[in-house]
Structure 1
Amino acid sequence: MEVFLKVGHLKKSFKNTEILKDISFEVNKGEIMAILGPNGAGKSTTIRNIMGIMYPDDGTVTFLGSKQIPRNKIGYLPEERGLYQNVQVMDILLYLAELKDYPIKKARERALAYLKKFGLEGKEKTTIDELSKGMGQKVQFIASIIHEPEFLILDEPFSGLDPVSQELFKQEIRDLAANGTAILLSSHQMNLVEEMCDRLFLIHRGQKVIYGKMDDVKQEYANFKCTIKGENRLEDMEGLPDVQRVEQRDDTTIMYLTKDIQVASWLKNLPDHIDVKELSIDRISLHEIFIDIATDKNMLKEGAETNA
């Protein structure tokens, strides 16, 4: 894959506080790359340095090998909404397209098509302040892609959306990537990130924690867990081999298993007398990995990296 964005050894401090500590990653054309981390981890600072809103103390940001920011080729959906409130929907979309030197006629055609796709047909003359939060988010998203960007930054794109609208956004983001757009996505909705993204960069306290392909990260860090629904005693489960820890909630028992177990062989360890109404074995989710990092449980190897 061709690299569109390359961030190399980025460092940034405010007064005496180091916010970014030697951050490096790449975003390829045609992929969806997630940048994740708890609040205050350095995600927004990283994005602002990429966009040229602020400048790093050290390190480089290059686009297709150049330090010049190709603003006409970049789309940006910020977490903080920034559309003019008393301006009509079509006017703001055409204005933003014009700022990117995009043909107005083509922009109008794309705007109408996207408004229809996202259930906003007939809202062309509605002002932004008359829209619901979800509708406003849709318009903001359209504004970020109206000019057919080659690189797209999406910061919390699913905020304020109902499940149906989330599905529309997910499909559109996938389609953009399939057509070659390089996408950097930041979101706290781990289930959506896990479902959509090809690779991830997890940052905590300004430094890299995990960086690699989603499948590799899952294999490396997401150990198996066994969930049993039934009335069982905690001590019966805690004594089983290859069980790291056990959690019980009402009639559900979750056993977190050690790395590299053979599932079929391990199941033979379950006592015959336990109550099994339902049983499932799967890997822990990206959400659980994220919580582990954010709460400093230290179950993961510090500064780890898979093969990106």
Structure 2
Amino acid sequence: MSKIAVITGAGAGVGRATVTEFAKVGYDVALLSRDPDRLEQAAAEARRYGVRALPISTDVADFDAVAAAAETVESQLGPIDVWVNVAFATVFAPVKHITAAEALRATQVTYLGQVHGMMVALKHMTPRNRGAIVNVGSALAYRSVPLQSVYCGAKSAIRGFTDSLRSELIHDKLDINLTMVDLPAVNTPQFDWAENKMGYKAMPVAPIYEPEVPARAILFAATHRRREIWLGWPTVKAIMANRIAPAYADRMLAKMGYSGQITHEPLPKNAPANLFEPVKGNYGARGRFSAKSRTGSWEMFTDRHRDALIGGLALLAGITVLHQLTKKYDF
């Protein structure tokens, strides 16, 4: 019997790439996002791998809609094994130019969307005492940057909620795997359709990764016991630098945080924005930065092979000690 994965934000970007990764290894997939046409395109791609794919037009900010989608998945596909929270919305702008309605909407999608996913997944997984929930976080949950205050705040909140839930799962002795995958900059369509008040097109901060890289990390997280996965050296560097010298990071980002995220290409007057309504169009997993994007991550390789690496390091340490003892005692 095939396993079943539910993936939010499945119409484009990392969510869409994640659908493909799960379909490749035989998972039946349920695709949740707002735009029904793009969802059907993504579902058709998944079906090429011989799996069932169920697109469900869903606004993750609406708890009742997420709960109804889960019921549909269970009735049409079967018991949910994996739930992946990817969907988000953001605003590129200084805080002084963000309206209360924009901040509310972005928070509802990015933060509450994942909360809703966790709550609904738990409802179905708890009676069976099995399952995996993967929350997609960001390096920006640890080190906020200018122009993305709403997104950074929401990702930080997701981390806090996830940590609380993890302790509760341990207390209740539930065999539900809860993992957070923190991402670096990824080449997705968000930089063409996110709400942008800067007057110029947005861009990810280099180095940039293709969406298939986090998609593989998400699949790995769903099938292995990891508390958290930091994907890419930029993520590791941002998190550790902020722990060591946060004030220095504040000043550096004040100096470089604007130019590193905004291009010199003027934003069209009627540029699309997906904050309140989905943007129509044939968007896929990748955005317009493929020429600059990486297709792999050394940090993900080391995490995938963690046990072998630890064993190898332990063996190397043992050989070194044995060699030193041999020299000392002239064995």
- Please say which structure displays the higher CA radius of gyration: 1
Question: What TM-score range do you get, normalising by the shorter chain?
Answer: 0.3 to 0.5
TM-score, reference length from structure 2:
0.31
Where is the helix percentage greater, Structure 1 or Structure 2?
2
Where is the strand percentage greater, Structure 1 or Structure 2?
1
